[in-house]
C-alpha cells in the first residue's frame, strides 16, 4: 500500500479540514465523513481509505469514511458539448500525468464535438470533503 503516496497527502488534507470544521462547529465526536473523489484525478479509493484510517484523530475515532465517486464531466467552451472523462481511453503515462496535475488534461484531451482543447471541468476534479456528521459538544 505504499505505491501511491499522493493519496496520503490528499487524505491529510481531508482529515485536517474535517478536524477544523469539527472544532469550529463545536463537534465533539465525528460520526461520518463524506468524501467526494473526482474521477479526473483517478484517486485510488482503497489507498485513500487506508490513509484516512491511519490519520484519524481522536475526534473521529469511530467515524465512518464514506467515499463517493464523482464522474469527470467536461464541457467545451467553443461548441458547448458535454462529455464524461474516460480514463480507459488514455495511456498509463497520460493517466498518471492527469492524476498529478489534472490541468494537463488540456494537453491530451479535446472536445469530441469540435476538437477544441478549450474545455472546462464541470465536476470531478480533486478530492472534496463534502460533509461531516457528528455530535455537538454540550454547551
Site for other proteins, rule CB under 8 A:
4-6, 8-9, 13, 97-98, 100-104, 106-108, 117-118, 120, 125
Q: How many residues bind Zn ion (CB under 5 A)?
A: 8
Least separation in angstroms between residue 59's CB and Zn ion is 47
Site map for Zn ion, 1-40, x if CB under 5 A?
Answer: ----------------------------------------
The DSSP letter of residue 137 is: P
The one of Zn ion, other proteins, none whose footprint includes residue 130, by CB under 5 to 8 A per kind, is none
Least separation in angstroms between residue 136's CB and other proteins is 32
With 0-12 / 13-18 / 19 or more C-beta atoms within 10 angstroms meaning exposed / middle / buried, residue 123 is middle
The one of other proteins, Zn ion, none whose footprint includes residue 80, by CB under 5 to 8 A per kind, is none
- Catalog residues that contact Zn ion under the rule CB under 5 A: 76, 78-79, 81, 111, 113-114, 116
Amino acid at each position: 500500500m505504499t505505491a501511491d503516496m499522493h493519496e496520503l497527502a490528499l487524505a491529510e488534507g481531508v482529515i485536517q479540514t474535517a478536524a477544523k470544521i469539527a472544532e469550529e462547529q463545536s463537534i465533539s465526536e465525528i460520526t461520518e465523513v463524506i468524501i467526494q473523489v473526482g474521477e479526473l484525478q483517478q484517486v485510488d479509493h482503497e489507498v485513500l481509505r487506508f490513509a484516512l484510517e491511519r490519520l484519524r484523530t481522536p475526534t473521529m475515532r469511530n467515524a465512518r469514511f464514506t467515499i463517493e465517486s464523482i464522474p469527470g464531466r467536461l464541457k467545451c467552451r467553443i461548441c458547448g458539448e458535454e462529455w464524461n472523462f474516460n480514463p480507459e481511453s488514455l495511456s498509463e503515462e497520460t493517466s498518471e500525468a492527469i492524476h498529478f496535475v489534472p490541468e494537463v488534461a488540456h494537453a491530451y484531451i479535446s472536445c469530441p464535438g469540435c476538437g477544441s482543447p478549450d474545455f472546462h471541468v464541470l465536476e470531478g476534479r480533486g478530492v472534496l470533503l463534502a460533509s461531516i456528521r457528528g455530535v455537538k459538544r454540550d454547551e
